[in-house]
Amino acid sequence: MVGGGGREHALCWALQRDAPSTTLFAAPGNPGTAQLATNLPIAVTAIDELVAAARAQRVDFVIVGPEAPLAAGLADRLRAAGVPVFGPSARAARLESSKAFAKEVMAAAGVPTAGSRTFTDVNQALTYIDAHVEPLVVKASGLAGGKGAVVCETRTAAAATARAFLTDGTLGAAGREVVVEDFLEGEELSVLALTDGERIVILPPAQDHKRLGDGDTGPNTGGMGAYAPVGLTSPALLARVRREVLEPTLRAMADRGAPYQGVLYAGLMVSAEGVPNVLEFNCRFGDPEAQVILPVLPPGVTAGLGAIALGSWRPELGVLAPVGAAVTTVLAARGYPDKPETGAAIEIPTDLGEDVVVFHAGTTVDAGGVLRATGGRVLNVTAIGATVRDAARRSAAAAERIRFAGKQYRRDIARREIARAGAA
Ligand code: AMP
C-alpha cells in the first residue's frame, strides 16, 4: 500500500477485513496502518525506493493510494519491474493531473461536462473571462491538492484568480495552465468505479463535504466528511454514468494508447434533469470518500484490486449495491486548512462503540509513545450502521469524544441526506 493517509488506512482495513490472512506493507503508512501492516519508511514520491521495496518484499501486487506518485509514473515503473500494480500509468493518470487534458478527452468523447476553454496566456484568459456570464469557475490545470478549483461569483474575482495562477504563480507549475469553466447547478455526487480498462464495476457513490464549517460555510478543504450511500443515486442514474461517462472515457483513453486501469473517480454535478456532468476525474480513491465507500462494500470486493493488478479480473456484477451505510467525520488540526498546527497529543477512547473505526490521516507516535497530530486532517471517524442517520449520529458522537487541543470538525455531516430521507 503506497500512501500514509486516511484513505490508505481504510484500504488496509478493507483488505484485511476481506482476507484476514493478507500480509500487508504500507509505505510510508501511519500509526493506523501499523496496526494492520508493516510500515516501511519510504515517501510516496521516492519511486526508486518503492520499486526496490516491492521487489525485496516479493509482494503479490501494489496499490497506489495518492495521485502524486501515479502522476509521477510509479505504476509504470512497478510494471516495468515486473510488479503487478493497481493504479493507472502516468499517461492515464493525466485524467486527473491535467484538467486541460481531461476536458479535451471529454469533449472528444462526448462526455457531459461544463463548457470551458483552456489558457496559458493571461491576456487571452482575461479577454475570455471579460465576456463570460457570472458566476464562472477558474481551475488550475495541474495537481493542486484541492486548492485548484475556484468558483467565482464575479468576472472580477475570476480575473483575479486567473492572474494569481498564471501571472503570480500562486500554485506553481500546477497553475501555469488554467481552465475557465461554465458554472453548473445541481447536486454533487462522487461515483467511483473499478476498471481494468474494459470491464467496469461501479461502487456505491458517496458525497463529501468540502467546506470547513457547518452548513457548508468557510474555506474549501480537502474534505471534512463524507457519507454513503447517497439517496440521489438510482439505477437509472448509474446506468447513465456508465454509458455517458465511464465507457466513452475508457474507450477514448484506450484509443489514445493510454488504457486506464485502477479506480476511476468521476466527480459529478447531477443536474435537475439528471444529467451527470463531470466536474473532474480523479485517478484514485477519494479521501475521505474511501473511508465510507470501502466499509459499505459487499464482502470480498477488495480481492478485485489484486485481480485487476494481475489481469485476471472477471467481475460478476456491474454495479455494487451498498451494505448498510457509513459516515465519516474528519477531525482537523487547529488552523486547518491555512496553517495547521502540529504536535497536539491525541486521546482516543477505547470504547467508541461497535462499528466505529478511527482511520488515521495525520498522526505520528512520538519517542515517548504518545500519539500526536502531524497533519491538517488528523483522524477520520467512520461509523458504520444500518442507515445514514444512525451512522451519522454515532460518527458525530465518537468525534466529540476523541480529544486533542485545537480539534476542529463538522457536526453536520450527512445532514442534507438525513433531511432528504426524512422527507421521503
Ligand atoms: P473540482 O476540483 O474540479 O472537483 O472542483 C472542486 C469543487 O468546485 C467541486 O466539488 C464543486 O463544488 C466546485 N465546482 C467545480 N467546477 C464547477 C462547475 N463547473 N460548476 C459549479 N461548481 C463547480
Task: Tell me the CA–centroid distance for residue 402 and ligand 1, in Å.
Answer: 32
Rounded Cα distance between 13 and 313, Å, is 21
What pLDDT, on a 0 to 100 scale, did the predictor assign at position 392?
Answer: 98
Per-residue buried b or exposed e for 190-220, using 16+ beta carbons within 10 Å of the residue's own CB: bbbbbbbbeebbbbbbbbbbbebeeeeeeee
Q: Which residues contact 362 (CB under 8 A, 6 or more apart)?
A: 5, 30, 333, 340, 342, 373, 374, 375, 376, 377, 378, 379
Query: 143-149 contacts: CB < 8 A, separation 24 or more?
Result: 143/67, 143/68, 143/71, 143/96, 143/97, 143/174, 144/171, 144/174, 144/175, 145/222, 146/210, 146/220, 146/221, 146/222, 146/223, 147/171, 147/220, 148/99, 148/174, 148/175, 149/279, 149/280
What pLDDT, on a 0 to 100 scale, did the predictor assign at position 424?
Answer: 54
Task: Tell me the CA–centroid distance for residue 302 and ligand 1, in Å.
Answer: 29
Task: Tell me the CA–centroid distance for residue 225 and ligand 1, in Å.
Answer: 17
Name which residue sits closest to atom 5 of ligand 1, judged by CA: 149
Of 120, 307, 276, 261, which is closest to residue 188 (Cα–Cα)? 276
Task: Tell me the CA–centroid distance for residue 148 and ligand 1, in Å.
Answer: 10
Q: Which three cell numbers, joined as nine digits, stand for 90?
A: 502516468
Strands 25-28 and 38-39: parallel
Ligand 1-lining residues (CB < 6 angstroms): 114, 137, 139, 149, 151, 181, 183-184, 188, 210, 267, 269, 279-280
Task: Tell me the CA–centroid distance for residue 182 and ligand 1, in Å.
Answer: 10
Which residue type, as a one-letter code, is found at position 77?
A: R
* Largest distance between two CA atoms of the chain: 60
Name which residue sits closest to atom 13 of ligand 1, judged by CA: 151
Rounded Cα distance between 283 and 70, Å, is 8
Sign of CA dihedral 311, 316, 319, 323: negative
Task: Tell me the CA–centroid distance for residue 149 and ligand 1, in Å.
Answer: 6
Pocket test for ligand 1, best of 143, 151, 187 (most atoms within 8 A of CB): 151
Which residue type, as a one-letter code, is found at position 301?
A: V
Which residue type, as a one-letter code, is found at position 128?
A: Y
Of 190, 204, 214, which is closest to residue 329 (Cα–Cα)? 214
DSSP class of residue 203 equals: P
> Which residue reads 466536474 in cell numbers?
279
Which atom number of ligand 1 is nearest to the Cα of residue 184? 20
Say whether 70 sits in a helix, a strand or coil: helix
Q: For the chain (length 424 residues), average pLDDT per consecutive 10?
A: 98 97 97 98 98 98 98 98 98 98 98 98 98 98 91 98 98 97 97 98 97 94 96 96 98 98 98 97 98 97 97 97 98 96 97 95 98 96 97 98 98 94 68
Pocket test for ligand 1, best of 188, 190, 269, 275 (most atoms within 8 A of CB): 269
C-beta separation of 339 from 333 below 8 A: no
Of 266, 123, 112, which is closest to residue 182 (Cα–Cα)? 112
**Burial bucket for residue 15 (CB in 10 Å: 0-12, 13-18, 19+):** buried
Rounded Cα distance between 11 and 282, Å, is 17
Rounded Cα distance between 355 and 119, Å, is 48
**Burial bucket for residue 354 (CB in 10 Å: 0-12, 13-18, 19+):** exposed
CA–CA distances in Å: residue 378 to residues 31, 33, 341, 401: 11, 14, 11, 15
Pocket test for ligand 1, best of 101, 137, 268 (most atoms within 8 A of CB): 137
